[in-house]
Amino acid sequence: MVIVGAGFGGLQAARALGKARNVRVTVVDRYNHHLFQPLLYQVATAVLNPSDISAPIRTVLQSRNTEVLLADAKSVDTHRKVLVVEGGEIPYDSLVLATGASHSYFKHPEWAEVAPGLKTLEDAVRIRERVLAAFEAAERESDPVRQRQWMTFVIIGAGPTGVELAGALSYMTRHAMPKDFRRIDTREARVVLLEGLPRVLNTYPEELSERAKRDLEELHVDVRTGAMVTDIDAESVTFGNERIATRTVLWGAGVAASPLVRSLEVPLDRAGRVQVTPLLTAPGLNDVYVIGDVAAVAQRGKPVPGIAPAAMQMGRHVAKTIRCRLANKPLRAFRYHDKGSFAVIGRGYAVGLLFDKWRMSGFPAWCVWAGVHIAYLIGFRNRASVMLNWGYTFFTKGGRDMRLITGNVLKRMPALAVSLQAPAVSPAPPARPELPASRPAPVH
Amino acid sequence: MVIVGAGFGGLQAARALGKARNVRVTVVDRYNHHLFQPLLYQVATAVLNPSDISAPIRTVLQSRNTEVLLADAKSVDTHRKVLVVEGGEIPYDSLVLATGASHSYFKHPEWAEVAPGLKTLEDAVRIRERVLAAFEAAERESDPVRQRQWMTFVIIGAGPTGVELAGALSYMTRHAMPKDFRRIDTREARVVLLEGLPRVLNTYPEELSERAKRDLEELHVDVRTGAMVTDIDAESVTFGNERIATRTVLWGAGVAASPLVRSLEVPLDRAGRVQVTPLLTAPGLNDVYVIGDVAAVAQRGKPVPGIAPAAMQMGRHVAKTIRCRLANKPLRAFRYHDKGSFAVIGRGYAVGLLFDKWRMSGFPAWCVWAGVHIAYLIGFRNRASVMLNWGYTFFTKGGRDMRLITGNVLKRMPALAVSLQAPAVSPAPPARPELPASRPAPVH
């Protein structure tokens, strides 16, 4: 059998089949690593390292019956039963499509360039680089209007990704960064969170949305609901009658399923997902399973959410179905067990639902969230390193050494280089106000 | 005063002046981080994280009298006493140039594309990516000749960088990687080290060169001395009458000083370095100091080596000179204290000279090397994380989670995608031999 995509769904399916003697598994992915996507925003906000939240697929899947292949899947030929990849074809008897989703820019693909989304490690590193570089530019800039523009950050979409990014970004500017700069006060940075719907975290109960909004505002995030964005360019974002001058726009809205499933020629929903059967197969294709964010599954009239635990349950269910089929045992329909979902607002704050029943918020919700995430992280090393980094960040108000721009950002962002004015760097006294006395003195 | 470059030399000068009340320091660098270059090869060979060996310059230099500026220095106008950067000018009273060196491709700049050198974090990440991707391609490849080509690695230049890269690469293919692949045996990878001179590590005593060569050969590195490379392309390296088919060539030869010092219009040596006065100033320019790898300093007829301790001593000496000048105290000529230099051959093996007298090799030399490097690493967090990673690597025969290709390497290296053949991934029994019984069984 062939599994496409080594995210949460694909990896669980491969692991659950790793001990089966009568099955050979080939896992195809275009990246060499499995990514713990729920913590991606912490890489983007310079709290964690890329390697803290990823593990080489080959290392995770070392069963003798499992092969891993770095390849870009292009389409599925269901008649000939082959997966077409760049440069070749892979025949399958059963196929599991677990290729995930990316953000949807609705009808504005041109926004992708100015407003990057957060789905891959590359995205996270690029966002980190843009945010850090914006402060570097603000420090160089002598014109206060343009300085303000560099220090304004707009995040579009107040789902979990947008909320977590906004909270972490605001926290970073207020706690981890102020001591690093001489001419700007990073605590004056403005973080704006725009949401087209009437409330943040709209899949959560209304009460938790309210709480999340309040907590974000306490973290100095400017939350605007009912704000439909009509234009984005390199210098601003427009919504309603308002225009915000900014150099950094981040995108966390919409869901678009991976385009690979289009080649199945089965009905798709508006987000491009396959409406699967109770066995998680594509309609009319008994040997093609579709799981995770590319599958649209409804249960008691409610859609199963596009989160990691749901994808993992689907992966395990497909493995079970395949084993039952080989053993001629009866098959069972997929049932989603909702263990809960959480969104982090800031350091020590979260909101969420445990077992789809108990509403939690504040520090207790954060503790549940942190415990679950550490427990789920794959591989001992990752866990130790994440705990080290988190512990350090928690006790020092922001990590020191992750604020790393790997490359020559001046080459990649030419806009950074044009704003320097001689007076901005002449030996004048520091322009920014003193830090309050309660904060530790700068390290000498 | 203005310091250009926050490497070992520039950083020491800035730190030594950080407490002086009567001095204002502006540090200019085009990267936002200080890099611990001696361990760069461990990032390239997937043992350490980029953030393990780097620290944001702003975090390291938090003195109130010190400003940090992300800017690309273009030239020095010594008549007007300004440093010209992209987008502006910075006036100086004293200037310290500590912009370092890169590799020299002699008269073949076109080789830079096919044979990347190792000087920046970006270089290290790119080399890691190329090496890991080569094994992915070999696993996909069905043609044995082309498979062999993907599994051949040529390193040009047997100075410390080349020796360390070759040893670490060979170790990785033999200890960290074999369990990850099904169709290839990574232990069959061929690592070739080419050196134009008659021996490896030619600045070391002959006896240590011999020992290093023997140790490398024990690690299965194919060492070829007296091998002048005449051609490199995407598929091969030619030297003498021989041509090696390879997809991965790494460059560790030659030294070329940063071109910024050319604008000083003072005499340069063949490597483009400034032949400085005993006060480390450029000849005829009392207020322009040149230190580290851009300075050519001779002592008792021997050149001061281009290594971190030498640059740090020069940085501290310049700080002292500037303070003495401000206090009208007598100035002293620079004297280099050789505390030693070491080159690592492999896990637990090194060769080196302690205090320019005592020759060391093997495990004792490695212990001295490791201790010195951990002690010098700047900042507590880095040190803890490096120790964690090293400890883990030491006890598990190679780290697990650093073998990370951050991005979509298939897009960046189109050559990877063309070699897949259907039989290479059909469900056939594994082609490679069993691992010897003495090795631990694969983890399930």
Separation CA A2–CA A427 (nearest Å)? 64
**B181 and B307 both lie in a single domain:** no
Question: Among all residues of chain A, which has the CA nearest to that of B50?
Answer: A406
For the cut 80, the answer to whether the pLDDT of residue B377 exceeds it is: no
CA dist B418 → A216, A224, B139, B213, B244 (Å): 49, 49, 13, 37, 21
For residue A443, name the pLDDT band (cuts at 50, 70, 90): very low
**A132 and A227 both lie in a single domain:** yes
For the cut 50, the answer to whether the pLDDT of residue B394 exceeds it is: yes
* Mean pLDDT to the nearest integer, A112-131: 89
Tokens coding B49: 């994280």
Distance of residue A290 Cα from the nearest chain B Cα, in angstroms = 22
**A126 and A249 both lie in a single domain:** yes
Separation CA B245–CA B264 (nearest Å)? 44
CATH number, domain at B159? Answer: 3.50.50.100
Secondary structure (3-state) at A279: coil
Tally of CB atoms within 10 A around B141: 23
Secondary structure (3-state) at A57: helix
Q: Is the residue at B265 inside a domain?
A: yes
Q: Per-residue pLDDT tens for A52-74? A: 788 888 888 888 888 998 888 99
* DSSP state letters, A323-349: HHHHTTPPP--------EEEEEEETTE
Task: Write out the H or E segment, with its range, that includes residue A43.
Answer: helix A40-44
The answer to whether residue B55 neighbours chain A at the CB level (below 8 Å) is yes
| Residue A179 and residue B62 in contact, taking contact as beta carbons nearer than 8 Å | yes
For the cut 70, the answer to whether the pLDDT of residue A211 exceeds it is: yes
Separation CA A24–CA A189 (nearest Å)? 54
**A197 and A143 both lie in a single domain:** yes
Q: Is the residue at A408 inside a domain?
A: no
Question: Higher pLDDT residue, B288 or A359?
Answer: B288
Please tell me the pTM assigned to this model: 0.81
The answer to whether residue A72 neighbours chain B at the CB level (below 8 Å) is yes
Tally of CB atoms within 10 A around B300: 6
CA dist B157 → A279, B127, B199, B209 (Å): 59, 16, 10, 14
Closest CB to A56: pick one of B392, B404, B408.
B404
**Residues A411-414: contacts with CB within 8 Å, 24+ apart?**
A412/A129, A413/A130, A413/A133
> Which residue, among B33, B58, B136, B395, would best test binding to A if mutated, counting the most A CBs under 10 Å from its CB?
B58
> Which residue, among A401, A413, A419, would best test binding to B if mutated, counting the most B CBs under 10 Å from its CB?
A401
Question: Among all residues of chain B, which has the CA nearest to that of A405?
Answer: B32
Number of cross-chain residue pairs from A and B with Cβ atoms under 8 Å apart = 228
Q: How many structural domains is chain A composed of?
A: 2
Q: Is the residue at B45 inside a domain?
A: no
Separation CA A187–CA A113 (nearest Å)? 28
CA atoms within 13 A on the CB side of A37: 20
* Mean pLDDT to the nearest integer, A102-130: 89
Q: Which of A396, A389, A391 is nearest to A49 (CA)?
A: A389
**A91 and A231 both lie in a single domain:** no
Residues 6+ apart with CB under 8 A from B326: B20, B22, B23
**A147 and A223 both lie in a single domain:** yes
pLDDT at A439: 37
The answer to whether residue B63 neighbours chain A at the CB level (below 8 Å) is yes
| Residue B57 and residue B98 in contact, taking contact as beta carbons nearer than 8 Å | no
Classify residue B31 as exposed, middle or buried by CB count within 10 Å of its CB (0-12, 13-18, 19+). Answer: buried
Question: Among all residues of chain A, which has the CA nearest to that of B444?
Answer: A63
Q: Per-residue pLDDT tens for B294-323? A: 999 988 888 888 888 899 999 999 999 999
The answer to whether residue A31 neighbours chain B at the CB level (below 8 Å) is yes
- Which of residues A277, A298, A326 is at a domain's end? A326
pLDDT at B358: 79
Average pLDDT taken over every residue of chain B: 83
Question: Any catalytic annotation for residue B164?
Answer: yes
Taking an 8 Å cut-off on Cβ atoms, the answer to whether B379 and A388 are in contact is: no
Q: Write out chain A residues lying below 8 Å of B420, CB-based.
A: 71, 85-88
For the cut 50, the answer to whether the pLDDT of residue A106 exceeds it is: yes
- Which of residues A380, A396, A412 is at a domain's end? A396
Scan residues 382-421 of A and list those with Cβ closer than 8 Å to B: 382, 384-385, 388, 392, 399-410, 416-421
- Residue-number span of the structural domain to which B224 is assigned: 111-254+340-396
Beta bridge partners of B76: B83
* Mean pLDDT to the nearest integer, B398-410: 61
Q: Which of A22, A49, A350 is nearest to B382 (CA)?
A: A49
pLDDT at B444: 35
Q: Is the residue at B179 inside a domain?
A: yes
Q: Per-residue pLDDT tens for B169-179? A: 998 898 888 88
For the cut 70, the answer to whether the pLDDT of residue A94 exceeds it is: yes
**B220 and B120 both lie in a single domain:** yes
Closest CB to A400: pick one of B179, B379, B444.
B379
Radius of gyration over every alpha carbon of chain B, rounded to an integer in angstroms: 23
Tally of CB atoms within 10 A around B441: 10
Parallel, antiparallel, or unpaired: how do β-strands B248-251 and B152-156 relate?
Answer: parallel
Taking an 8 Å cut-off on Cβ atoms, the answer to whether B64 and A442 are in contact is: yes
Q: Per-residue pLDDT tens for A306-336? A: 888 899 999 999 999 999 999 999 999 999 9
Q: Is the residue at B306 inside a domain?
A: yes
**A12 and A80 both lie in a single domain:** yes
pLDDT at A422: 45
CATH number, domain at A260? Answer: 3.50.50.60
Residues of A with a catalytic annotation lie at 164
**B237 and B275 both lie in a single domain:** no
Taking an 8 Å cut-off on Cβ atoms, the answer to whether B392 and A381 are in contact is: yes
The answer to whether residue B65 neighbours chain A at the CB level (below 8 Å) is no
**A348 and A317 both lie in a single domain:** no
**A286 and A304 both lie in a single domain:** yes
Residues 6+ apart with CB under 8 A from A112: A105, A251
The answer to whether residue B161 neighbours chain A at the CB level (below 8 Å) is no
For residue A287, name the pLDDT band (cuts at 50, 70, 90): very high
**Residues B276-283: contacts with CB within 8 Å, 24+ apart?**
B278/B333, B278/B334, B279/B321, B279/B331, B279/B333, B279/B334, B280/B314, B280/B317, B280/B318, B280/B321, B280/B334, B282/B97
- A144-175 in b/e burial notation, b at 16+ Cβ within 10 A? eebbbbbbbbbbbbbbbbbbbbbbbbbbbbbb
Task: Write out the H or E segment, with its range, that includes residue A244.
Answer: strand A242-245
- Which of residues B276, B304, B326 is at a domain's end? B326
Highest mean pLDDT among B40-54, B141-155, B166-180, B297-311: B141-155
pLDDT at A425: 41
Q: Is the residue at B423 inside a domain?
A: no
Secondary structure (3-state) at B288: strand
**A368 and A244 both lie in a single domain:** yes
Question: Among all residues of chain A, which has the CA nearest to that of B135?
Answer: A70
Tokens coding B13: 């000068």
Q: Is the residue at B38 inside a domain?
A: no
Radius of gyration over every alpha carbon of chain A, rounded to an integer in angstroms: 23
- A373-388 in b/e burial notation, b at 16+ Cβ within 10 A? beeebbbebbbebbee
Average pLDDT taken over every residue of chain A: 83
Q: Is the residue at A376 inside a domain?
A: yes
* Mean pLDDT to the nearest integer, A270-295: 94
For the cut 70, the answer to whether the pLDDT of residue B387 exceeds it is: no
Q: Per-residue pLDDT tens for A339-370? A: 777 788 877 778 887 777 777 777 777 777 77
Taking an 8 Å cut-off on Cβ atoms, the answer to whether A133 and B70 are in contact is: yes
Q: Write out chain B residues lying below 8 Å of A444, CB-based.
A: 18-19, 62-63
pLDDT at B384: 57
Taking an 8 Å cut-off on Cβ atoms, the answer to whether B32 and A384 are in contact is: no
The answer to whether residue B148 neighbours chain A at the CB level (below 8 Å) is no
Separation CA B328–CA B324 (nearest Å)? 6
